[in-house]
Structure 1
Amino acid sequence: MATGWYATADTLLPPSLLDIGPIMGAIAISGLVPVLFVKKNLNGGKSRTSEIAMAERFANLKSSTLINVVDAENRMTEVNDEMLAFTGYTRDQLIGQPVRMLYGPTGYQTADTIRRGLAEGKIWQGDTPLVCSDGSVRVTQTTVMPLFDGEGNWSGSISVRNDLAKNEAFLSGKINSTALHELRDSIWMVDVQTEHFHYMNRAALDWMGLGGGSYDRLSLDDIQTKMDISPLISAYHAVRDKGREDVQCNLVLKGMQFEVSVKRVAIDDQNDQILFVFQDISNRVEKEQMKAEFVSTVSHELRSPLTSIKGSMGLLLSNAAGELPEKARGLLEIAHRNAERLVLIINDILDLEKIVAGGMEFERVPTDLSDLINEAVLSSSINSQRFDVTIETVGTEEPVEVHTDPNRTIQVLTNLLSNACKFSRPNGKIIVSLTQQQGRLRVSVKDHGQGIPARDKHKIFERFADMTNSDRASKGGTGLGLSICKAIVENMGGDIGFESQEGVGTTFYFCLPTEEAVVYHTENAQPGLRDAG
């Protein structure tokens, strides 16, 4: 991420660089992030200088460059004139509004995906729809970069968009070469045919020890002989030979950790380039490791004594030491429930640690998914009685075979059922359905509870997410279950999501891949698997 000030320059890049549409977002952002950072660190005071600088940055980014800035609440705080002209909105109509209004209902999932990535410090690139003031939808090529405050906390994002309809004219215009060359992130461009470097910015030259020297005679093989860039080479071949559009890889070089984006850039019909953008994530990784080590140590040290305490209280409640007075039993039951909750939290934290470290094992075997669902429903009977709800199943009458890890699948199912019980109304009904959709098996858990507020939906799978109406403490949740479910399902090659309407209810679902779901029909039985498609 850049930290300097960039003036608009009339100097043209080499002709081949004029056609690098995908990196325009990074170039534009590099000029704006310093101003935004300064503006956020004024301790609440206003600075005429920073406002003028912001105006100049926006004014310098002309042509089809559309810019908007959002805060941590996903509300727009800045838009440039080109954005207003493109969408037909006035500034007052956009400032303070959720950015999702620009995506429309069909783009909500994309907006949520972008936000989740930003919260993890990731840059997002792709095509997004924009709903204009007249109701029309126009597609833009978009780069979204997270913003962080002075303490390293995520504070919002900045988006730079290009009108795809005018992309050809846009690519033939000038690029701010000064901004590109001064980016703190290292940039390489490698010719697909020769594998020789076509371009390096100043950061890359300094990092490679080339200073102002020549790079056009260097190849990837030359770099490989000096340092281990195996992950980079693999990503390069995935993009060049296997047709992958964009590949991310992690790389450790000279004691620094990088997240590298590798992308093919079509210059013309005969001359393609592979673009490498290096983002230094050393500080972020170090902080994450320190935090993970601390949490892991504390969790391991707490689990054994807590398990012992919980077991001892369980023995007392079973009258192993004699009959307990009624008041003492009541107090002990409260202590036992809280000990159970603490053990659950610690187990969840340790599960997350395994997932992050890649240490969670998955044993995929042919499994009857219907049987797993029925088993999870049975094991959730205590929760259903506690919260006075009933659980029904649909589509589980017949065995349905899927290649999955049964224990991890049960873990996901019981967590979703536990949440559904907790947030259902008394005398409510929960419906667990198994359906087939386009070669995948879909399991859904539907409740008729209070639903999830729209302002909380983007963080539903985050760790310890603070939901507006969750009342987690009284209901016994750890705040980790859904993030663990997401990691488990994705590690098994599936995906997870939800649909919710506040005041009506919520449906959580997960899909598992299967080439062909096998349904075993028994005599005189109704089909157990319905096509929901």
Structure 2
Amino acid sequence: MVLQLQNLKESNEFLNILFENITSALFILDKDARIKNMNESFSHLFKKGENQVVGNLCGNVIGCEFAVEANSLCGETSYCKKCMLRSDILQTMSEKVPTYKRKLSRDFYSDTQKVTKHFLYSTRHITYYGDEYILVIVDDHTELENSRNKLQEQNETLRILNDQKSKFLGIAAHDLRNPIGAIKSFSDILLESSSEISDDEKMEFLELIKESSQFSLNLINELLDISKIELGKLNLDKKQSNIQEIIAKTIKINKIFAKKKNIEIKFIVSTAISPISLDRNKIEQVLHNLLSNAIKYSNPNTVISLSIIEKESNIHISVKDQGVGIPDKELKKLFSAFGTTSAKTTANESSTGLGLTIAKKIVNKHGGEIMARSKLGEGSEFLFTLPVD
């Protein structure tokens, strides 16, 4: 008899050791869904000791968001009737029907911090000395689920980038076909029939070759810029700079192109402007794009106004033309890659459709915003901001 009691005691100790060392969180509930016992893994998962657990309702112990936020007991919130875990526990108690690895994704409170957890839980009905209990086994899959979600997000990002790459290649091939074809055709004519062509025609052909080459080069450069931006490689070399000097330099360069259409560029400064930290080359790129677009879409003998003002800790820069304008419903296309509108350049100038996309990325990277206003037939205004340090 003494030997049997010793064996029973040792068996219970062995079972307790197993119970405490199982990596799944185990807890035992009575018919009222109050926790009667739990293992060490449960304490680790829900960050609560035995004195905070035993005798308390399941939902309150595990930090169910609905019980915590309603400051109510488990079973008394408006959500409890829809709670899958509670429903399975009650069904297992009443019908002795087990639940096997049911997935539960929900927000829980750990101390005062709200976190999303992903569990797999199983329930089993047990009877001990005439009393009925439910054994609940919980496996934490939060880290695995987060990794899976992150992988799905990465795959979706790669899919989008791959679609963009295919779109870029398709559009680039389409847009490069004509200028490269023109270069080849005019080069062939000059090489094969040079003696039969007048000097004026030769100069015309060379000018067309130059324009086609420049368009192709611009498109390739902008495609490279877009690729760097999409890969997160838009790095800024920011230095304290005088934005007025940068604008004046950009205007000086673009006046050469404006002169061909007898367009005047006015620079308006209404307040003193503070030096700001920026990447000079990148901001020049933005200004060149806005001014060159204004020239392309302006009628001859008109005025382009470039104004700058400092207010509310930001530098506001505006480029306003008296050109053809853009239909209101097409404005949202302007800053998307290869976004095109029905607006036509006034002297058949070429455009890649990438410049404004790049400008937006550069301005946003500086912490600013860019936008457009336009009215068909009355011109357009492009505005962007740069934060003062």
Shared fold per TM-score greater than 0.5: yes
State the Cα distance separating 1:475 from its structure 2 match. Answer: 2.2
> Among 141, 152, 155, which residue is 1:257 paired with?
152
3-state secondary structure, aligned to 1:370: helix
State the Cα distance separating 1:423 from its structure 2 match. Answer: 1.4
Maintained 8 Å contact 2:315/2:387: yes
CA displacement, residues 403-447 of structure 1 (integer Å, 9 cap, x when unaligned): 000000000001000111111222111111110120101111111
State the percentage of identical aligned residues. Answer: 25
Seen in structure 2, the aligned counterparts of structure 1 residues 19 and 190 have a Cα distance that, compared at 3 Å, is closer
Per the alignment, residue 282 of structure 1 pairs with 155
Equivalent-residue separation in structure 1 for 2:295 and 2:152 (angstroms): 44
Maintained 8 Å contact 2:325/2:376: yes
Per the alignment, residue 324 of structure 2 pairs with 450
Equivalent-residue separation in structure 2 for 1:287 and 1:386 (angstroms): 42
CA displacement, residues 131-161 of structure 1 (integer Å, 9 cap, x when unaligned): xxxxxxxxxxxxxxxxxxxxxxxxxxxxxxx
3-state secondary structure, aligned to 1:474: coil
Per the alignment, residue 299 of structure 2 pairs with 425
> Among 226, 239, 249, which residue is 1:352 paired with?
226
Per the alignment, residue 190 of structure 1 pairs with 108
Seen in structure 2, the aligned counterparts of structure 1 residues 215 and 412 have a Cα distance that, compared at 3 Å, is farther
3-state secondary structure, aligned to 1:477: coil
- Paired residues, number: 276
1:16 aligns with 2:36: no
> Among 370, 385, 408, which residue is 2:259 paired with?
385
State the Cα distance separating 1:346 from its structure 2 match. Answer: 1.1
Maintained 8 Å contact 2:298/2:345: no
Seen in structure 2, the aligned counterparts of structure 1 residues 289 and 473 have a Cα distance that, compared at 3 Å, is farther
Equivalent-residue separation in structure 1 for 2:375 and 2:358 (angstroms): 23
Seen in structure 2, the aligned counterparts of structure 1 residues 370 and 254 have a Cα distance that, compared at 3 Å, is closer
Maintained 8 Å contact 1:387/1:422: no
Pick which of 439-448 and 497-506 moved more: 497-506
> Among 273, 277, 287, which residue is 1:403 paired with?
277
Seen in structure 2, the aligned counterparts of structure 1 residues 15 and 424 have a Cα distance that, compared at 3 Å, is same
Per the alignment, residue 463 of structure 1 pairs with 337
Equivalent-residue separation in structure 2 for 1:377 and 1:177 (angstroms): 66
State the Cα distance separating 1:18 from its structure 2 match. Answer: 12
Equivalent-residue separation in structure 2 for 1:174 and 1:426 (angstroms): 72
> Among 290, 307, 313, which residue is 1:439 paired with?
313
Maintained 8 Å contact 1:196/1:217: no
Seen in structure 2, the aligned counterparts of structure 1 residues 256 and 326 have a Cα distance that, compared at 3 Å, is same
Partner AA of 1:474 in structure 2: N
* Within-5 A mapping of 1:303-322: none
* Within-5 A mapping of 1:16-165: 16=66
Maintained 8 Å contact 2:263/2:301: yes
State the Cα distance separating 1:290 from its structure 2 match. Answer: 6.0
Per the alignment, residue 137 of structure 1 pairs with none
3-state secondary structure, aligned to 1:511: strand
Equivalent-residue separation in structure 2 for 1:439 and 1:334 (angstroms): 47
State the Cα distance separating 1:381 from its structure 2 match. Answer: 1.4
Seen in structure 2, the aligned counterparts of structure 1 residues 509 and 286 have a Cα distance that, compared at 3 Å, is same
3-state secondary structure, aligned to 1:499: strand
Equivalent-residue separation in structure 2 for 1:223 and 1:295 (angstroms): 38
Maintained 8 Å contact 2:242/2:274: yes
Partner AA of 1:193 in structure 2: D
Equivalent-residue separation in structure 1 for 2:136 and 2:282 (angstroms): 51
3-state secondary structure, aligned to 2:348: helix
Seen in structure 2, the aligned counterparts of structure 1 residues 282 and 328 have a Cα distance that, compared at 3 Å, is same
CA displacement, residues 304-341 of structure 1 (integer Å, 9 cap, x when unaligned): xx8xx89xx8xx9xxxxxx9721122122112101111
Equivalent-residue separation in structure 1 for 2:242 and 2:213 (angstroms): 34
> Among 303, 313, 333, which residue is 2:207 paired with?
333
1:487 aligns with 2:361: yes
Give the structure with the larger helix fraction.
2
> Among 393, 397, 413, which residue is 2:287 paired with?
413
CA displacement, residues 245-288 of structure 1 (integer Å, 9 cap, x when unaligned): xxxxxxx5388332xxxxxxxxxxxxxxxxxxxxxx62452252
Partner AA of 2:159 in structure 1: E
State the Cα distance separating 1:473 from its structure 2 match. Answer: 9.7
Seen in structure 2, the aligned counterparts of structure 1 residues 437 and 283 have a Cα distance that, compared at 3 Å, is same
1:372 aligns with 2:246: yes
State the Cα distance separating 1:500 from its structure 2 match. Answer: 1.9
Seen in structure 2, the aligned counterparts of structure 1 residues 19 and 460 have a Cα distance that, compared at 3 Å, is farther
Unmatched 5+ stretches in structure 2: 1-63, 71-76, 85-103, 124-134, 191-196
1:510 aligns with 2:381: no
Maintained 8 Å contact 1:446/1:508: yes
Maintained 8 Å contact 2:66/2:79: no
Per the alignment, residue 59 of structure 2 pairs with none
Maintained 8 Å contact 2:68/2:109: no
Equivalent-residue separation in structure 2 for 1:431 and 1:366 (angstroms): 26
Seen in structure 2, the aligned counterparts of structure 1 residues 389 and 472 have a Cα distance that, compared at 3 Å, is closer
Maintained 8 Å contact 2:222/2:355: yes
State the Cα distance separating 1:481 from its structure 2 match. Answer: 0.7
Seen in structure 2, the aligned counterparts of structure 1 residues 253 and 400 have a Cα distance that, compared at 3 Å, is same
Superposition RMSD on alpha carbons, in Å? 4.4
CA displacement, residues 381-413 of structure 1 (integer Å, 9 cap, x when unaligned): 122123331100011896641100000000000
3-state secondary structure, aligned to 2:235: coil
Partner AA of 1:16 in structure 2: F
3-state secondary structure, aligned to 1:359: coil
